[in-house]
A and B are shown apart, each in its own frame.
Chain A
Amino acid sequence: DAGVTQSPTHLIKTRGQQVTLRCSPKSGHDTVSWYQQALGQGPQFIFQYYEEEERQRGNFPDRFSGHQFPNYSSELNVNALLLGDSALYLCASSLVQGGEAFFGQGTRLTVV
């Protein structure tokens, strides 16, 4: 079992651009959540997907959107990038809502 995998590992974007981050959940997990972690802070919840629907959403603007595919993999899209969007983006999967969460290695996004 490869666990939760995220791609890419790192990327650099320019202000105003759009970015797509990808996540494959742990085998058998159908619930995928995305978090943003700024340096020195704990992860902040962006949204959660289950059965291809957004089930919950944190306090993030509409520039942040997502998608879940039939195979449970997920994408996080961020439009009109701001310098403040620079962070580590983490994907987590769980077998059930509230079950043990497993995280990927993260995608480090730098906006210049």
Chain B
Amino acid sequence: KQEVTQIPAALSVPEGENLVLNCSFTDSAIYNLQWFRQDPGKGLTSLLLIQSSQREQTSGRLNASLDKSSGRSTLYIAASQPGDSATYLCASYSGNTPLVFGKGTRLSVIA
């Protein structure tokens, strides 16, 4: 059974700092991994989807990497802004299974 863990659970950084959010998964036989952003009380916004054959994906200031062999993915946020404050969730898809989510990392960017 796939288990997804996100560390740290919460993170507070000053504006402008580059930061890395971590996601680990127990079953390396994944088809893809997706990163989401969630604002308080709201739904999930898809940020990046990495297919199992890919090593990384980039969108603007965001870069997500995937290392299946080690069971890890990272989300890199460059030049953080207060508007980046939210909870970031990663979820893995392993084929014929639903998305399995971590509990998320709550990010606060302080102006």
Contacts and interface: CB of A to CB of B under 8 A. Distances in A.
B43 A103 contact: yes
B43 A100 contact: no
B70 interface: no
Interface stretch (A11-19, A65-73, A78-86, A104-112): A104-112
Given A103-B36, A103-B44, A106-B43, A98 B95 contact: yes
Given A42-B101, A56-B98, A98 B43 contact: no
Interface residues of B, number: 25
A101 B34 contact: yes
Contact of B41 (A33, A56, A100, A108): A108
Contacts of B101: 42-44
Contacts, number: 58
Interface in A1-36: 4, 6, 33, 35
Which residue, of B4, B98, B101, has the highest number of chain A Cβ atoms within 10 A? B98
What is the size category of the interface that chain A forms with chain B?
Answer: 20 to 34
B32 interface: yes
Contacts of A4: 43
A97 to B, nearest CB: 8
Interface string A34-69: 010000111111001000000010100000000000
A51 to B, nearest CB: 16
Interface string B69-111: 0000000000000000000010101011111111110000000
